[in-house]
Structure 1
Amino acid sequence: MHCRGNRRRHDVRLLGALLLALGALCMTKPASAQMYDPRYPVCMHVYGELVGDRMDCIFASIRQCQASAVGIPATCLVNPFYAPRPAHPGRPER
């Protein structure tokens, strides 16, 4: 009988630890992808129930973004994470 009591206590502790771990896991946020693509200077923030809410950073200029945004609920904005590529030096002249 004494062994049964210890085993039951162990099982209850294990169950409590598992529930605590599961609760902690449920409270964590999922990792999110980079919202702004640093390769492009302009982003379009698209929003609304029909098209969803997203950030499209695929534009070279505000004008290009505005032309693409016609007819959809969107706003064009400067990409705060834009990182232009360094210019490649040309061939040295001889």
Structure 2
Amino acid sequence: MLRSFGLIAFVGALLMAAPSHAQTFDPSFPVCMHVYSGANGGGGEWYDCSFTSLPQCRATASGRSASCDVNPYYPVNAAPPRPRYRRGG
């Protein structure tokens, strides 16, 4: 019994010490560019989520090993902010 408890505690400590990954997509912009810089580039691949439209992203990705995707974390169905009215007088 004590041995199985020790094993469970050890596995739990290992899982807690494992590094976690940050969110890949920035939810502030609707379009992300997936940049591939493979084995010869040495930098791996990453996402650049700083584009407001697909044509803007495609123009930036032109000539690079990159593709443009719609950001899955962009809040499309979010309600627009309510206008704020100022009272005069």
Pairwise TM-score range, normalised by the shorter structure? 0.5 to 0.7
Alignment partners' CA distance in 2, 1:58 and 1:88: 25
Deviation (angstroms), 1:90: 3.9
Spell out structure 1 runs of 4+ moving beyond 3 A.
26-29
Per-residue Cα deviation, 1:33-92 (whole angstroms, up to 9, x for no partner) = 110111100000111221520011110000110011112111101001102663241426
Match of 1:31 in 2: 20
Structure 1 unaligned residues grouped into runs of 5+: 1-16
TM-score w.r.t. length of structure 2: 0.65
Structure 2 unaligned residues grouped into runs of 5+: 1-5
Higher helix share: 1
Correspondences of 1:1-16 after superposition (within 5 Å) = none
Tell me, yes or no, if structure 1 residue 44 matches structure 2 residue 48.
Answer: no
Deviation (angstroms), 1:31: 1.1
TM-score w.r.t. length of structure 1: 0.62
Higher strand share: 2
Match of 2:85 in 1: 91
RMSD value, Cα: 3.1
Alignment partners' CA distance in 2, 1:52 and 1:88: 42
Alignment partners' CA distance in 2, 1:29 and 1:47: 26
Identity of aligned residues (%): 44
Tell me, yes or no, if structure 1 residue 66 matches structure 2 residue 64.
Answer: no
